[in-house]
């Protein structure tokens, strides 16, 4: 297995930026074991006097969809339409689970009521002690793991036929709780093939994967793959090849925690797709996020390397959160933008800058713009740029080129050449992007960027700011901020000249 940078960050940003609007969102069917999670939060500051166990003083409780429901909510966060296919008990918890999923935007007509089993409940007791972050203390499960009865299985398959016929992808989210029997899985896979719908399987932790045979892809973690193949964690390539061959798959995506993922596409060599190093708070839900992003990306036209790369980003964001928290598509986009920013630095051309500015603006970020020569950087400049950044979320700094400065200030300027000025300005925390312009004014930049706020220093009045009429014509704001008295490049040059006399 060889590591490979399979997609540029810029490609990923452009792909997400082209994600369809809600009206054209892709429909994903999620088939699996649907559960209801009950979280009990409290203070765990003391031990019980009658046993060496912590006492949880309850302060709050909440019910949230769990199991296969997690994948459904992840897909909603990724702007997909979701249809649920599974079993719930014919009880109050089943009713509440379906109600909760409906409220979050899921279609629940495929959730079959089974009067002979309870809705699967997982009670999570979470305590806070010594003012540290919340810690799950233990869990209590209420469930019936027996296989679905023939009658319920037939209802599941009939509902699957109806939902898959108009789907863009099918996810089988199997927790081995009885819904995804071999017969049900094989029927769903066969139906999906009939409609040319890709099938993505997040397998249960079981030894026999034959019920998933014929799916498009399978996404086990290393531990699950070892259990299913009888191999060791070091044999990742062989595990992937074995699963691909024996299950007649098109691809295998083997998730490897902090090492990222191994992608094996039929007829090609395995490649390692790395992930970003992140602070791990809670790994719960990371696997669900992987398969949700995989399905969403593939349904929207991504190739396999792109889909896996995006899944790694989404899963990395998931492990930074406590509990199962769906990662919004916007969060993935922002993470990619931050990565690109780190890779490229702050200096941009117009063509490089515009896609990033557009993406930030779509997330509701306010773009501020200011400009100047910044020949000899001084305290006045730093204070001014801090004020300019305070007017928005992202500050774009337009910097006069050397030729432009000579036209404005004479042949002896600038003192510091363009590359030196850009390097120094790029190190300022208040500046997000630096871009050079050659003309006397930054009007071409303003027309291209269309900033939400145009900022200029206090030695100007609003009506004298170049571009004020243009910015205000589309609803932008023009702001004049104060300057630090006595601080200017000219003053510094004069003081230096005075020391020579």
- 93 or 380, which is more confident: 93
Each residue of 428-445: pLDDT tens digit? 999 999 999 999 899 999
Q: Tell me: pLDDT of 5 over 60.
A: no
Instruction: Specify the residue for token string 């996404």.
Output: 219
For the chain, the domains span: 2-341, 346-499
The answer to whether 27 and 197 are in contact (CB under 8 A) is no
Six-digit token string for 260? 């990222």
Q: Per-residue b/e over 321-336, b at no fewer than 16 CB within 10 Å?
A: eebbbbbbbbbbbbbb
422: pLDDT strictly greater than 50: yes
pLDDT of residue 292: 95
Mention every residue, 6+ apart, whose C-beta is less than 8 A from residue 438: 401, 403, 404
pLDDT, tens digit (0-9, with 9 covering 90-100), for 288-340: 999 999 999 999 999 999 999 999 888 888 766 666 778 888 888 888 887 87
Nearest by Cα to 100 from 70, 59, 61: 70
Please, which residues bridge with residue 86 across strands? 111
What percent of the chain has a predicted confidence (pLDDT) above 90?
A: 60
The string of DSSP codes covering 191-230 is HHHHTT--EEEE--S-S--GGGTT-SEE--BHHHHHHHH-
Residues 402-417: b if buried by 16+ CB within 10 A, e if exposed: bebbeeeeeeebbebe
Helix axes 68-77, 92-103, angle to 10 degrees: 20
Over range 452-470, report the average pLDDT.
Answer: 87
pLDDT at 276: 66
Torsion of CA 389, 393, 394, 398, to 10 degrees: -40
What is the pLDDT at residue 322? 61
Query: Residue 229, by phi and psi: left (phi above 0), alpha (psi -120 to 50) or beta?
Result: alpha
Rounded CA-CA distance 255/85 in Å is 25
> Helix, strand, or coil here: 172?
strand
Q: Distance (Å, rounded) from C-alpha 10 to C-alpha 356?
A: 9
Tokens for 42, please give them.
């409290």
Span 385-408, average pLDDT: 93
In the chain, what is the straight-line distance between the N-terminal and C-terminal CA atoms, in Å? 69
Q: 346-499 adopts what CATH topology?
A: Rossmann fold (3.40.50)
Query: Do residues 260 and 280 make contact, with C-beta atoms less than 8 angstroms apart?
Result: no
Q: Which range, 328-342, 449-463, 464-478, has the best average confidence (pLDDT)?
A: 464-478
Residues with catalytic roles = 288
For tokens 């452009």, the residue is 14
The structure tokens listed for 47 are 């031990």
Residue 490 has pLDDT above 60, yes or no: no
Greater confidence, 286 or 499? 286
Q: What mean pLDDT comes out for the span 68-75?
A: 96
Task: Give the pLDDT of residue 15.
Answer: 87
* Contact of 206 with 172, CB cutoff 8 Å: no
Residue 491 contacts residue 382 (beta carbons within 8 Å): no
CA pair distance 139, 122, nearest whole angstrom: 7
pLDDT score recorded for residue 326: 84
pLDDT digits (tens, 9 = 90+) for 13-58: 888 878 887 778 999 999 999 999 999 988 888 888 888 888 888 8
Determine contact, residues 308/233, Cβ cutoff 8 Å. Answer: no
Task: Calculate ∠ Cα 80-74-282, nearest 5°.
Answer: 165
Stated as kind and residue range, the H or E segment containing 270 is none
Average pLDDT, the chain: 88
Q: Say how far apart CA 343 and CA 12 lie, in whole Å.
A: 14
Enumerate residues 6+ apart whose C-beta is below 8 A from 75.
Answer: 28, 30, 82, 292, 295, 296
Torsion of CA 94, 97, 103, 104, to 10 degrees: -140
What does the block give as tokens for 180? 């995804």
pLDDT score of 263? 95
Looking up tokens 């004014």 gives 441
Cβ partners under 8 Å of residue 109, min gap 6? 83, 159, 163
CATH of the domain spanning 2-341, picked from 3.40.1190.20, 3.90.1640.30, 3.20.20.150, 3.20.20.70:
3.40.1190.20
What is the signed CA dihedral for 144, 148, 152, 157, rounded to 10 degrees? 130
pLDDT of amino acid 2: 42
Q: What is the pLDDT of residue 281?
A: 47
Fold equal for 2-341 and 346-499: no
Position 99 pLDDT exceeds 50: yes
DSSP-derived secondary structure letter, 396: E
Q: What is the pLDDT of residue 375?
A: 85
Rounded distance between C-alpha atoms, residue 333 and residue 337, angstroms: 6
The predicted pLDDT at position 256 comes to 87
pLDDT for 4: 42
From the list 26, 29, 12, the residue with the least C-alpha distance to 296 is 26
Rounded to an integer, what distance in angstroms lies between the CA atom of residue 294 and that of residue 292?
5
Other C-beta atoms lying within 10 Å of the C-beta of residue 365 = 17
Query: Quick check: 179 pLDDT over 90?
Result: yes
pLDDT number for residue 277? 52
Distance CA 270, CA 142 (A): 41
What span, in angstroms and rounded, lies between the C-alpha atoms of 238 and 3? Answer: 16
Name the band, by pLDDT with cuts 50, 70 and 90, for residue 358.
confident
- pLDDT at position 1 is 43
Radius of gyration of the chain from its Cα atoms, rounded to whole angstroms: 29
Considering only CA atoms, which of 396, 337, 398 is closest in space to residue 363? 337
pLDDT above 80 for 6: no
């Amino acid at each position: 297995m060889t590591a490979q940078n399979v997609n540029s960050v810029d490609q990923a940003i452009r792909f997400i930026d082209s994600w369809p609007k809600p009206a054209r969102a892709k429909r994903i069917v999620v088939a699996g074991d649907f559960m209801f999670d009950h979280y009990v939060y409290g203070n765990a500051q003391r031990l019980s006097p009658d046993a060496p166990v912590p006492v949880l003083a309850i302060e709050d409780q909440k019910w949230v969809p769990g199991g296969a429901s997690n994948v459904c909510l992840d897909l909603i966060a990724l702007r997909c339409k979701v249809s649920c296919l599974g079993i719930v008990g014919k009880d109050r918890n089943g009713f509440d689970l379906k109600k909760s999923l409906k409220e979050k935007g899921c279609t629940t007509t495929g959730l079959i009521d089974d009067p002979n089993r309870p809705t699967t409940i997982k009670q999570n007791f979470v305590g806070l002690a010594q003012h540290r972050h919340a810690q799950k203390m233990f869990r209590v499960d209420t469930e019936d793991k027996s296989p679905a009865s023939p009658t319920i299985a037939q209802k599941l398959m009939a509902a699957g036929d109806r939902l898959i016929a108009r789907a863009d992808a099918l996810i089988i989210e199997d927790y081995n709780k009885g819904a995804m029997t071999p017969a049900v899985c094989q029927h769903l896979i066969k139906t999906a093939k009939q409609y040319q719908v890709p099938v993505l399987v997040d397998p249960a932790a079981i030894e026999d994967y034959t019920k998933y045979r014929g799916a498009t892809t399978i996404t086990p973690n290393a531990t699950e793959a070892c259990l299913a193949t009888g191999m060791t964690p070091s044999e990742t390539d062989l595990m992937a090849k074995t699963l691909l061959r024996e299950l007649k798959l098109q691809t295998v995506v083997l998730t490897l925690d902090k090492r990222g993922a191994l992608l094996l596409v039929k007829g090609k060599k395995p490649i390692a797709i790395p992930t970003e190093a992140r602070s791990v708070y809670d790994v719960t839900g990371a696997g669900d996020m992987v398969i949700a992003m995989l399905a969403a990306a593939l349904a929207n036209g991504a190739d396999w390397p792109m889909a896996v790369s995006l899944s790694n980003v989404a899963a990395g964001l998931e492990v930074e959160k406590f509990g199962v928290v769906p990662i919004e598509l916007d969060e993935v986009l922002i993470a990619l933008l931050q990565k690109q920013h780190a890779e490229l630095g702050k200096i941009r051309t117009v063509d490089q800058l515009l896609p990033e500015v557009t993406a930030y603006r779509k997330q509701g970020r306010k773009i501020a713009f200011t400009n100047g020569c910044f020949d000899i950087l001084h305290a006045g400049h730093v204070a001014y740029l801090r004020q300019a950044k305070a007017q928005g979320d992202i500050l774009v700094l337009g910097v006069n080129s050397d030729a432009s400065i000579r036209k404005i200030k004479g042949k002896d300027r600038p003192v510091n050449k363009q590359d030196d000025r850009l390097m120094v300005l790029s190190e300022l925390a208040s500046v997000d992007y630096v871009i050079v312009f050659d003309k006397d004014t930054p009007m071409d930049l303003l027309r291209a960027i269309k900033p939400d706020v145009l900022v200029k220093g206090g030695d100007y009045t609003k009506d004298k700011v170049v571009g004020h009429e243009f910015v205000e014509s589309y609803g932008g704001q023009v702001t004049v901020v104060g300057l630090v008295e006595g601080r200017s490049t000219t003053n510094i040059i004069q003081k230096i000249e005075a020391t020579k006399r």
